[in-house]
Amino acid sequence: MALIEQASIQAVLDACDMLEVVAPYTTLKKSGSNYMGRCPFHGEKTPSFSVDPSQKLYYCFGCGEGGNVFKFLEKKEGLEFADAVKTLAEKYGVNIHYEASSPGQERRRQERGRLLALLDQAATYYSRVLVEAKPAGAARAYLENRGFKAPVIHAFRLGYSPAAGTALLKAATTTGNDESDLLKAGLVLMRNGRTYDRFRGRLMFPFTDHRGRVLGFGARVLDDSKPKYLNSPDSDIYHKTNLVFGLGNARQSITKEDRVFIVEGYTDVLALHQAGVENAVASMGTALTEQQLREISRFTRNIYLAFDADAAGRAAMLRALELAKKHNLAVRVVEIPAGRDPADLVLDEEGLRTFNELAAAAPTLLEYQVQATLRTAGLDSSQGRVQAFSALKTVLAGAANSIERDEQLRIIADRLRLSPENVAYLMESAPRNDIEEDGGTRRRVLSHEEIAERSFLSLCLANPGEARRYLQLMTDAHFTTEPNRAAFLWVRERLAGKKVHSDMNAARLPLDDKAREALPELMIRSKTETTSPDALPELYFRLCEAELSRRIVAIKSTIVEASDESGDLRELYRLEGRRRDILKVIQDGSYETV
C-alpha cells in the first residue's frame, strides 16, 4: 500500500485539535500550559493524564502511556498509523497525498477499494430489499416476532437476499460492477460455467470491521433448510476468525464504559443494543478466538462473557481463560439463567433490569471456575473431594492477583474441609503476573538510573541553552536502556540546531526508533515540572558518576592477576580518582566546574 507523504502527515497534525480529539474519552482541565485529566488508558481516581495541545502530545504519569495525537487514536480506536492519519484528515478536511508506489501495489490498493465499495453497495441493496420487497415479508415477520424494531435493524443494516438466483448479480452488473470483482468479494459463485448469487432467500447480517466497513455477510434461512447459517468465504478482505460482530456499532460505547459484553449470536447483539446495552458484540460463535480477543482488547481489557447457559457456552467460557491471561484481560461471567439466551432475556418485560443485575453480580472467571468445579464435584464423597482438590490447584494458578486467589482459597478450604497443610499446598499455585489488584496492568517499574536519565533529558528540553554544553560532553554510554540512549541522541541532535522549538513537534518524532518510547514523557515533563536551578548540572554529574561506576565494575571483572604495570589497573585507578572528584562536586554543590 502506498505510503502517505510526510508533508500530508504534517498538514494533518497542524490542522487537528488535540483537545478535541481527546475530549470524548476524558474530561480535561487547564493546568499551566497543558491540560490534565483522568487517564483514558487505565482506571484512576486522581488525574495524572497530561495533554500538550500545542505539540499534540499526551503522557500519563500513572501508567506511562504516551505519544502524539496519531498514537492516541491508534490506541483508543484500534487503528493502524495510516488509518489514524486518514481519520483525522477526514475530520479536519485535509487532502492526503501518497508517495509513488509500484504498479502492483497500486493495483492491489485499487482492487481492495473496489471490493469494499462493492460490499457496501451489496449491504445497501439487501437492506432496501428487506424494507421494500414483497418476497421479504417472511424476513420482516421474523424480525417483528423476535421483537426487533426499525432503529436497530437500520443501525446494523440488516437485509434480505432475494430467492431469485441472479438478483444481486444483475443489480450489481447493471450499475457497472465487474463479475470478477463480485466473485472476489464472495457475493456470487460459479457452477457449471454459470454465475449465481451466493446468498438466496436469507436474512442478511453484514459483517463489519471496527470502522464500520462491510467485509462480508452472515445469512440465515427462515425455514428448516440447511445450512441454517451461511457465511461469506474467507478472502483477502474477510476472515471470520478475525472479526467481531457488532464491533463497529459498539466501539464508542465500549470505550466510554471501558467494558464489553461478548455474546454468542447476532440476534443477542441486536437485542442488547435495542435494550440500551450498546457495548455488546458477538464472537461469531462460541469459539472465541485469540484474534478476536486481540481486536477487542484495543478498546477495553474488561471482558464480560454472556454466553448461553449450555455445555458449549460453559466450555467456551473456560477456554477463554488462557486467552485472557495471555492478553492481560480481566474477565467476568454474566450467568444467564438456564434455558435462556441474552436476546430472550432482555426483550422480555423487566429483562434489561435482570440483565444489569446479573452483570453487576458477575463473578470473575476464577470465581466462576471455582464454583463450577465445586458444583460438579461429588463433595459428599472423599473421592470427589480429592478430584476437586486436584482440579482446583490448576484453577488457582489462573488467578489474576493474590487477593482474588486468597479469597477463593478460603472458600475452597471451607467447602473441602482442608487441613492447614493442604491449604499451604494450594498456595503454591500463587500467580506471578503483571495484573494489579484493581484490574489494571502494571507499568514496568523504571530503575533509579532510568528515572535519573529521563529527568536529565526532560530538563535538557526545558533548558536548551544550558543543556548544550552538558550534552556535548556525553555519549550514549551515559544511558542504560535502548529507549533512553535513542532519546539522548535525538535530544542532542535537536538541541544542536538553532531553531530548537520549531523543530520539536509531534510529527517529527522518530517513527521507527526506540526513542518514541521515552520522548512523549520527556516533552510533557519539560513543560510541566518545575525544578531548582542546580537540578540540571547535578543530574549531569550523577549520570557521569553512574557511567564511571559501570566502567569500574567492568574493568574489575576482567582483572585476574594485576600488577602495578597493568594497563587495566592504571585505568582503574584513574577512573576511581575521577569518580571521587565527581562525588565531591555533588556533595559540595560546586557545579560551576563544568
Taking only the tens place, the pLDDT of each residue in 127-178 is 999 999 999 999 999 999 999 999 999 999 999 999 988 999 999 999 999 9
Closest of 400, 387, 533 to residue 459, by C-alpha: 533
Tell whether the model's pLDDT for residue 321 goes beyond 60.
Answer: yes
Count the neighbouring beta carbons within 10 Å of the beta carbon of residue 560.
Answer: 7
Tell whether the model's pLDDT for residue 585 goes beyond 90.
Answer: no
Tell whether the model's pLDDT for residue 431 goes beyond 50.
Answer: no
Q: What are phi and psi of 263, to 5 degrees?
A: -120, 180
410 falls in which pLDDT band (50, 70, 90)? confident
Output the nine-digit C-alpha cell for 181: 470483482
CA–CA separation, 196 and 194 (whole Å) = 7
246 falls in which pLDDT band (50, 70, 90)? very high
Residue extents of the structural domains in the chain: 6-92, 109-238, 242-360, 367-427, 448-593
Higher pLDDT, 297 or 206: 206
Name the pTM for this structure. 0.66
Torsion of CA 4, 8, 12, 13, to 10 degrees: 90
CA–CA separation, 234 and 441 (whole Å) = 35
CATH 3.40.50.261 fits 109-238, yes or no: no
CB 592 within 8 A of CB 541: no
Closest of 329, 300, 298, 328 to residue 78, by C-alpha: 298
CATH 3.40.1360.10 fits 242-360, yes or no: yes
User: Where does 6-92 sit in CATH, by number?
Assistant: 3.90.580.10
Instruction: Tell me the pLDDT of the chain averaged across its residues.
Output: 83
Q: What per-residue confidence (pLDDT) applies to 159?
A: 97
List pLDDT tens digits, range 84-132. 999 999 999 999 988 876 777 778 878 999 999 999 999 999 999 999 9
Please enumerate in sequence order all residues whose Cβ is within 8 A of that of 525, keeping only pairs 6 or more positions apart, or say none.
59, 454, 455, 458
399 falls in which pLDDT band (50, 70, 90)? low
Higher pLDDT, 412 or 295: 295
- Long-range Cβ contacts of 422-429 (<8 Å, 24+ apart): 422/389, 425/393, 426/389, 426/392, 426/393, 426/396, 429/393, 429/394, 429/396, 429/397, 429/399, 429/405
Tell whether the model's pLDDT for residue 435 goes beyond 50.
Answer: no
Q: What per-residue confidence (pLDDT) applies to 233?
A: 93
Could you tell me which residues are beta bridge partners of residue 430? Answer: none
CB 245 within 8 A of CB 282: yes
CA–CA separation, 314 and 408 (whole Å) = 20
When pLDDT is averaged across residues 36-65 and rounded to a whole number, the result is 87
Count the neighbouring beta carbons within 10 Å of the beta carbon of residue 561.
Answer: 5
The 3-state DSSP class for residue 66 equals: strand
Burial group, residue 354, by CB count within 10 angstroms (0-12, 13-18, 19+): middle
List pLDDT tens digits, range 552-581. 888 887 775 545 456 777 888 888 889 888
Output the nine-digit C-alpha cell for 377: 464435584
Name the least confident of 184-198, 224-238, 284-298.
Answer: 284-298
Pairing of β 66-68 and β 57-60: antiparallel
Q: What per-residue confidence (pLDDT) applies to 384?
A: 67
List pLDDT tens digits, range 493-551. 888 865 444 444 544 555 446 777 788 889 888 887 777 778 889 899 999 999 999 99
Output the nine-digit C-alpha cell for 316: 467456551
Q: What are phi and psi of 57, to 5 degrees?
A: -125, 155
